[in-house]
């Protein structure tokens, strides 16, 4: 049985549009796939995290405190996904990767949010994948792959179909950590992938048939980050 870690952005899970439809269909899909695959889902904070982080920053909170608010938002979103999994997953999001690994012995699907300040749920997903020796990590985002620049801002951004771990790290490097949205994948996540060499598949998480194909290890539309360039 393949082990798959899925990092689902909050902006994919609850963008504020067709949230109920998407969550119930995603719940059905993961439930169905959990009979053939060991699944771990790490859920991001999306709009809720951004709202609290921006407001808190303007009020003078420090970056660690803002990160902690972000983590709480990720756990709130994790509970929504848990609600859609009709008892197949743990009831409460674990607070550490170690706890998630342990829950994996008792539940078909494990759902968690963030852990500690200083990274995003992408970093958590990469560390969890290392701990459970995952076959692949799927980054279910609001864009359909990794682009040369932000496709929401630049019309001439081009999708990269295949990328090496080092290439990803190069794209993710930022000078300093700040609470709030990151770009492609966070630096901790990219560094962990360089070390573990677990393939990362980046795709649009709202396209459920495509997400299902990636979970099954079949051909999908998006970017593959692996040891090999195309």
CB-nearer residue toward ligand UTP: 14 or 224: 14
**Where does 84-205 have alpha helices with state H?**
97-103, 121-131, 165-172, 187-196
- The two beta strands, 162-164 and 223-226, are parallel
Site string for ligand UTP, 89-128 (x = CB under 6 A): -------------------------xxxxxxxxx-x----
Site string for ligand UTP, 123-162 (x = CB under 6 A): -x--------------------------------------
77 close to 44: Cβ distance less than 8 angstroms: yes
Say which residue the tokens 């859609």 belong to: 84
Give the whole-angstrom CA distance, residue 83 versus residue 157: 37
167 close to 34: Cβ distance less than 8 angstroms: no
Cα dihedral across residues 210, 214, 165, 43: positive or negative: positive
Q: Is 74 in the site for ligand UTP (CB under 6 A)?
A: yes
CB-nearer residue toward ligand UTP: 27 or 45: 45
Site string for ligand UTP, 163-202 (x = CB under 6 A): ----------------xxxx--------------------
Q: Is 10 in the site for ligand UTP (CB under 6 A)?
A: yes
Min dist. Cβ of residue 7 to ligand UTP (A): 7
CB-nearer residue toward ligand UTP: 88 or 136: 136
Q: Which of these, 131, 132, 109, 113, lies nearest to 122 by C-alpha position?
A: 113
Binding residues for ligand UTP, rule: CB under 6 A, are 9-10, 44-45, 49, 67, 70-71, 74, 114-122, 124, 179-182
């Amino acid at each position: 049985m393949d082990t798959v870690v899925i990092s689902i952005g909050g902006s994919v899970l609850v963008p504020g549009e067709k949230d109920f439809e998407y969550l119930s269909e995603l719940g059905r899909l993961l439930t169905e796939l959990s009979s053939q695959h060991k699944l771990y889902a790490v859920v991001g904070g999306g709009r809720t995290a951004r709202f609290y982080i921006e407001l808190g920053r303007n009020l003078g909170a420090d970056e660690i405190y803002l990160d902690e608010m972000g983590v709480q938002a990720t756990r709130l979103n994790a509970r929504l996904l848990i609600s859609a999994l009709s008892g197949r997953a743990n009831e409460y999001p674990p607070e550490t990767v170690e706890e998630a690994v342990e829950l994996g012995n008792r539940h078909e699907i494990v759902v968690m949010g963030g852990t500690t300040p200083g990274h995003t749920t992408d970093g958590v997903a990469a560390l969890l994948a290392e701990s459970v020796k995952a076959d692949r990590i799927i980054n279910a985002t609001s864009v359909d792959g990794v682009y040369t620049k932000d496709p929401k801002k630049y019309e001439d951004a081009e999708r990269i179909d295949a990328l090496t771990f080092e290439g990803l790290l190069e794209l993710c490097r930022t000078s300093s950590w700040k609470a709030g949205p990151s770009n492609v994948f966070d630096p901790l996540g990219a560094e962990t992938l360089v070390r573990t060499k677990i393939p990362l598949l980046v795709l649009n998480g709202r396209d459920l048939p495509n997400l299902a194909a990636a979970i099954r290890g079949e051909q999908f539309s998006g970017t593959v980050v692996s040891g090999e360039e195309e």
